[in-house]
Amino acid sequence: MLSNKLKKYKIILASGSPRRHELLKDLDVDFTVKLKEVDEIYPNDLKSYEITDFLAELKSKVFKESIQENELIITSDTIVWIDGIALGKPKNYQDAFDMLSKLSNNAHEVITSVCIFNKNFKKIINDSVKVSFKKLTREEIDYYISTYKPYDKAGAYGIQEWIGKIGITKIEGSYFTVMGFPVHKLYKELMKL
């Protein structure tokens, strides 16, 4: 349905995430991937979805000068929000271990924002999901980090990977938002174009 609806646009997904590539492809959207370097720094006073909204929009701004009339660009950002702190991508093993230890036997929010824009409009959408983890052992955390190397994932985990299968006890909201794309909301917005 969407490919027909969007045929006048050249869709560009500005994300290196294989999960986002897969999810957008599953929506029957033809797109190309174009990456531009962005320093993902946000003001300290931002909280929760304000952070992901800000970063999704920031990622869009690097395309402002080069965007063509028929192009539609999609950018996105995901964070894990726990105890008033945003967890982004871990820098190293210890950082990943600390993040997963914090998530262990606890509930957190996963927030994803998406910015859809072209020369004439810009729309930012976001979605939030509550995720609960069982108590993870040191061995489970170590095994996961050593085997799956989750350094490209907010909160140091991928819900679709081993840790999600053995560790997540409850999810309230969209599974795909946790993967990095609120596809139900993205579909709705793209259908409006």
Q: Which residues are catalytic?
A: 77
Tell me the three state secondary structure of residue 101. Answer: helix
Given a contact cutoff of 8 angstroms between Cβ atoms, the answer to whether 160 and 179 are in contact is yes
User: Cα 54 from chain centroid?
Assistant: 13
Number of helices and strands in the chain (H, E): 8, 7
Q: State the helix-helix crossing angle for 18-26 and 183-192, rounded to 10 degrees.
A: 50
Distance CA 145, CA 162 (A): 10
